[in-house]
Chains A and B, each alone.
Chain A
Amino acid sequence: MKAGDALVLKKSDALMFFASLANEMRLVAPRHLFGGDVMFGVVESPKEIVWDYGHDIYPPKRFLLPHFEDMFRCENGKTARIENLADAPAQAIIGIRSCDVMAIRFQERFFASQIVDPYYKSRSDNTVLFSLVCNKPPKKECFCICCDAGPYLDSGFDVQLTDLGDRFLYEIGSEKGAKATEPGAYMLSEAGAPDFDVRRRIELQVDSLFETTAYIAKAINFISEDEVPSQVWEELGSMCFRCAACTNLCPVCTCYTVDDRPEADGSFTRCRSWDSCQYSGFTREASGHNPRPTFGARVQRRFYHKATYQYIMRDGKHGCVGCGRCVSACLTKLDLPSVIKRIRRAMHEYLEPQEKAAEV
């Protein structure tokens, strides 16, 4: 088994295949909660895996960067003793969508650059991503196709599964993926030309089915060149409900804050949790000065990160994978496609009169 191999896993063998993997690592997969809700979580048995789940609202990035985590405990005594509380269990995230795989690759690069974040690194080292190709757009909010982050991947996955009806096309994309394939390798067979034909048909079809189209490229120019009038940002900021779900649930966003939970004797536990550039306290300085003093400025900040040259120069891609969670989680319409639309409209409203004036 090696990266680049393309195999076939019969659906009738899938349970057994993942059960054999469960001996090596914990399985994280979409599973049913209440009333039609489906969410990623640790499954006891591969029987719980929901293969036709669509898309979840709470990104699986949290199995690498937990929403709330205890990092270490510092015990107060004659000599302070520090006990590491973070765990990094070996895990397979099964059924993760292409967009989320690409987002995790972003995060891995971010947390490995300059100062390596050991908590993130140990978790990502121990994680194998079994991504699942979207045969149709899982939700109307999805726009990965505008972000080159799905609905299927050419690279970046550890293992990529494509549902071909009675079987999965099983593509190995990395050494990690190859190693995780070993326990159940005997259940896999080589993929043949008909399998690739079906796969190709699926790819062509799904590409044409997306409802949400975010025409990002032009907006990236406007935002990067700082051409968007500040009134537009302020108008957008005035709609905001300040819940910060757009950034908390963004699979690319990496920001966190740390808090110390004190105990009576002076010992404390350092905890970290997701934080957001949409909060004023996030950028406010000790002097009271805030470089992002208004809601509009903070919305602008968010889009500098999601849709500018910045990431493109560094990573070759803009900072959005089109997962659609900022659409479904927003109490108003400050999701990426809506904001892009608003900016494009605003550029007409604000620029055209000036151009006309210039012509006269």
Chain B
Amino acid sequence: MKPVLTTCGFCSCGCALYVEPADSRVVGLHPSENHPVSTGRLCIKGWNATPAVMGADRLKTPLIRKADSLEPASWDKAISFAASALKRILADSGPQSIGVIGSAKTTNEECYSLVKFARCVIGTPNIDGAHRFYDASLIHALLETTGTPASQIDVNSVAQAGSMLVVGANVMEQLAHIGSRIQDAAENGCRVVAADPRTSRIAPQTSLFLHPTPGTDLTWIRALLKTIIDRKLYVDHAPEIPGFEELVVSLDDVQAGRLEDACGIDPDAVGEAAQILASNPPLVVMFGLGVLQQFESSRIVKALADVAVLLGGSVMPLRGQNNAQGASDLGLSHDLLPGYRPLTDPGARKVCEILWDREPPTEPGMSAVDMILGCRSGAIKGLMIFGENLALSAPNTEETLSALDKVDFLAVSDLYLTETARLADVVFPACSFLEKDGTFTNIERRVQRVRKVFEPIGESKSDLDMIADLASALGRDISREPAKVMAEISADVPQYQGVSFKALDESWGQQWPLKGAAPKLTPVPAAAAESDREYPFRLIASRVNYHQQTGTMSARSTVLAREYPEAYAELNEGDAEKLGVRPWQPIRISSKSGALIRTLMLSASVPVGCVHVPHFFGGDSPNSLASYECDAVSGVPVYKACAVKVEAVR
């Protein structure tokens, strides 16, 4: 059969793939040669995309809880079971006791329909996306600075950068196409400044590699800003940019002399970084989860955006999930309407009212983390999770699992019976991105078509179908046709104006335009996390090449899972010696919230006083060590730099 052109469902690069079906099997897979991102190349996950979603243990029917077990059921039964549970909760405790968590892995159409379902069918303000657990901290921070909560440049423009600041990102392993462009840029003379507590694989491309103590990015970036201002390295018109004075004042307390103590960085190195970034335009500022999941993440993002604005550079947030951009654009968020419009924006409310046939709630709802806390406190009685394995992506795994277990009604939609789905009262078998139509929006704001390659496996359905079924069981009508939903999106969401399946089918997608707000500078006052003697180590959590998010998909590919057979953690040789542990011995890493056991490996790239715990296929996640502490502005949990204790397991 003819290969079907679609968009890869792993990372946010958004490569164009051809997948060749033969009956319900896949016999071929290759990248598009002319697509602007894939350019005939794929990363290891892209090449292994099909086995990852076609695991033998794919859910094939809905499941309904009967006492202690989940039993197969028909779709009719599962939908009416869910609908009556929702009706009961609505009648007893009102819509605000229901929470809905969507996924940045689903299509734009599914995200939008889910928002509509939550806000206007159920009527709850508690709708959020799983990007809350990853990178949602960039949204408000960038809205206030660059004005664009997205990358300002294309993937291909990365190769043309004159200088680059890359903070807290394992970009070579997690976003290979961007990493490849960084290599191209470096080869063309681009000066790369990287900052990461651990020496990552970007090191050979860098002119300067800063190793801040985990959790201290704000401190050294403030020093960088101060240097840029004191040495007048900024672009000529910078003092006229709104917020310049406030920024200057907010940096008054920066003490270069204390930098070494505070974050382990030589003040001269910060000076050198400022010089490199200022004298090699065009500058691109990139940051990944290392920043976005840190203490005070929103403030660090603002500080990095300030660096870019002062030096006339561009910002490119490195987002992980394939549709993180689209999910944010389409309002999968507890505090914004689609298109990043405030819940109180009269114009946006008017459009929603017309299109959605009911007024959405005006007050912000609970964020994803708050919903988990709500399950624990009883404020949330019903929780619906679409396409996210909270058991591994949410913080404080032990507490989270008991909260999910406690909630009266839990519905989960996923490809596989994840740790989260096992706790559900009803499980909906979802189909993968190869089995449905729709669109994803990639890291460069490119809205691209996702096309059905083969029919859904078993009785699985797209989330769009499920949402339509649920809405109809609750007496409302939501379209199950992706093209129609996109027509509604383009009428509602300013960034998606003019986007249609027809137009997308004739091109390599459409990038939503960069227009609107002029850049602003924002003040970045200091903040410091407290250290704790009982937990003297700092956690460095990362993902390896072969692993994506919680591993629900990537772990099913034998080739990917095979690369990484041992759940390990890394220590510096000196620390290992002090603790009296040897390589290949099990070590216990614990925090106030949890503990996990890993095999010890030694690594010179891990700094003293830190333990590096990569995400691993199945079982445990370094996220379990995090508490429910969140960035105050965005509600993104603080996963990075947690205070932990490391011990030998005797």
Q: Which A residues lie at the B interface, using CB under 8 A?
A: 33-39, 41, 57-58, 62, 66-70, 238-239, 241-245, 248, 257, 259, 261-263, 273, 275, 279-281, 284, 288, 328-333
Taking CB atoms, residues of chain A closer than 8 Å to B502 are none
Taking CB atoms, residues of chain A closer than 8 Å to B566 are 288
Known: A35-B35, A331-B180. A67 touches B29 (CB 8 A): yes
How many residues on B have C-beta within 8 angstroms of the other chain's C-beta atoms? 44
- Interchain CB contact under 8 A, A69 and B559: no
Taking CB atoms, residues of chain B closer than 8 Å to A273 are 51, 559
- Interchain CB contact under 8 A, A281 and B563: yes
Residue in chain B with minimal CB distance to A235: B204
Assess whether B193 is interfacial by the CB under 8 Å rule.
no
Q: CA A328 – CA B32 in complex, angstroms? A: 12
The segment from B42-50, B80-88, B424-432 found at the interface with A is B42-50
- Interchain CB contact under 8 A, A242 and B56: no
Closest 5 CB pairs between A and B?
A281-B562, A58-B30, A331-B180, A36-B34, A243-B44
B49-78 near A? 1/0 per residue, CB < 8 Å: 011000010000000000000000000000
Q: CA A273 – CA B560 in complex, angstroms? A: 13
B1-29 near A? 1/0 per residue, CB < 8 Å: 01101000000000000101000011111
Assess whether B177 is interfacial by the CB under 8 Å rule.
yes
In the complex, what's the smallest C-beta–C-beta distance from B169 to chain A, in angstroms? Answer: 15
Assess whether B176 is interfacial by the CB under 8 Å rule.
yes
Taking CB atoms, residues of chain B closer than 8 Å to A263 are 56
Residue in chain B with minimal CB distance to A67: B28
- Interchain CB contact under 8 A, A57 and B558: no
- Interchain CB contact under 8 A, A57 and B562: no
Q: Can you report 25 residue pairs joining A to B where beta carbons are below 8 Å apart?
A: A36-B34, A37-B18, A37-B32, A39-B30, A41-B2, A41-B3, A66-B27, A67-B28, A238-B201, A238-B204, A239-B204, A241-B43, A241-B172, A242-B44, A243-B41, A243-B176, A245-B47, A248-B47, A281-B565, A328-B33, A329-B41, A331-B176, A331-B177, A331-B179, A332-B180
B510-552 near A? 1/0 per residue, CB < 8 Å: 0000000000000000000000000000000000011000000
Q: CA A239 – CA B180 in complex, angstroms? A: 10
Q: CA A41 – CA B18 in complex, angstroms? A: 12
Contact of A281 among B35, B46, B559 (CB under 8 A): B559
Residue in chain B with minimal CB distance to A59: B30
- Interchain CB contact under 8 A, A57 and B179: no
Known: A33-B18, A35-B508. A245 touches B28 (CB 8 A): no
Known: A37-B32, A241-B172, A245-B47. A332 touches B5 (CB 8 A): no
Known: A243-B41, A280-B563, A281-B562. A37 touches B27 (CB 8 A): no
Taking CB atoms, residues of chain A closer than 8 Å to B562 are 279, 281
Known: A33-B5, A243-B47. A68 touches B28 (CB 8 A): yes
- Interchain CB contact under 8 A, A332 and B508: no
A contact patch SS:
loop
Q: CA A67 – CA B563 in complex, angstroms? A: 19
Known: A259-B558, A280-B563. A241 touches B34 (CB 8 A): no
Contact of A241 among B51, B179, B558 (CB under 8 A): B179
In the complex, what's the smallest C-beta–C-beta distance from B578 to chain A, in angstroms? Answer: 26
Known: A241-B179, A243-B176, A331-B179. A262 touches B56 (CB 8 A): yes
Known: A33-B5, A57-B33, A279-B559. A332 touches B183 (CB 8 A): yes
- Interchain CB contact under 8 A, A244 and B201: no
- Interchain CB contact under 8 A, A70 and B25: yes
Q: CA A288 – CA B34 in complex, angstroms? A: 41
Q: CA A332 – CA B34 in complex, angstroms? A: 18
Q: CA A284 – CA B56 in complex, angstroms? A: 25
Q: CA A249 – CA B18 in complex, angstroms? A: 15
Assess whether B31 is interfacial by the CB under 8 Å rule.
yes
Assess whether B40 is interfacial by the CB under 8 Å rule.
yes
Q: CA A332 – CA B187 in complex, angstroms? A: 11
In the complex, what's the smallest C-beta–C-beta distance from B545 to chain A, in angstroms? Answer: 5
Q: CA A34 – CA B600 in complex, angstroms? A: 49
Taking CB atoms, residues of chain A closer than 8 Å to B46 are 243
Known: A41-B2, A68-B50, A243-B47. A275 touches B559 (CB 8 A): yes
- Interchain CB contact under 8 A, B28 and A62: yes
- Interchain CB contact under 8 A, A35 and B47: no
- Interchain CB contact under 8 A, B28 and A244: no
Taking CB atoms, residues of chain A closer than 8 Å to B28 are 58, 62, 66-68
Q: CA A64 – CA B253 in complex, angstroms? A: 69
In the complex, what's the smallest C-beta–C-beta distance from B50 to chain A, in angstroms? Answer: 7
Taking CB atoms, residues of chain B closer than 8 Å to A275 are 559
- Interchain CB contact under 8 A, A244 and B44: yes
Q: CA A263 – CA B58 in complex, angstroms? A: 11
* Given contact pairs A37-B32, A58-B30, A331-B177, a sample of 20 additional A-B residue pairs in the complex whose CB atoms are under 8 Å apart: A34-B5, A36-B33, A41-B3, A67-B27, A67-B28, A68-B29, A69-B27, A241-B44, A243-B44, A243-B46, A243-B47, A244-B44, A245-B42, A259-B51, A263-B56, A281-B563, A330-B41, A331-B43, A331-B176, A332-B183
Contact of B40 among A66, A68, A262, A328 (CB under 8 A): A328
In the complex, what's the smallest C-beta–C-beta distance from B370 to chain A, in angstroms? Answer: 39
Q: CA A50 – CA B2 in complex, angstroms? A: 15
- Interchain CB contact under 8 A, B30 and A243: no
In the complex, what's the smallest C-beta–C-beta distance from A335 to chain B, in angstroms? Answer: 12
In the complex, what's the smallest C-beta–C-beta distance from A69 to chain B, in angstroms? Answer: 7
Q: CA A33 – CA B507 in complex, angstroms? A: 13
Taking CB atoms, residues of chain B closer than 8 Å to A36 are 33-34
In the complex, what's the smallest C-beta–C-beta distance from B136 to chain A, in angstroms? Answer: 28
Contact of A244 among B47, B172, B204, B508 (CB under 8 A): B47
Taking CB atoms, residues of chain A closer than 8 Å to B18 are 33, 37, 39
Taking CB atoms, residues of chain A closer than 8 Å to B30 are 39, 57-58
- Interchain CB contact under 8 A, A68 and B27: yes
- Interchain CB contact under 8 A, B42 and A243: yes
Q: CA A273 – CA B3 in complex, angstroms? A: 18
B172-194 near A? 1/0 per residue, CB < 8 Å: 10001101100100000000000
- Interchain CB contact under 8 A, B32 and A34: yes
Find residues 150-199 in chain B having any chain A CB closer than 8 Å to their own CB. Answer: 172, 176-177, 179-180, 183
Residue in chain A with minimal CB distance to B31: A57
- Interchain CB contact under 8 A, A57 and B40: yes
- Interchain CB contact under 8 A, B34 and A35: yes
Q: CA A36 – CA B56 in complex, angstroms? A: 36
Residue in chain A with minimal CB distance to B204: A238
Find residues 564-609 in chain B having any chain A CB closer than 8 Å to their own CB. Answer: 565-566
Residue in chain A with minimal CB distance to B50: A68
Taking CB atoms, residues of chain A closer than 8 Å to B180 are 241, 331-332
- Interchain CB contact under 8 A, A243 and B35: no
Q: CA A273 – CA B48 in complex, angstroms? A: 10
Q: CA A288 – CA B565 in complex, angstroms? A: 9
- Interchain CB contact under 8 A, B25 and A35: no
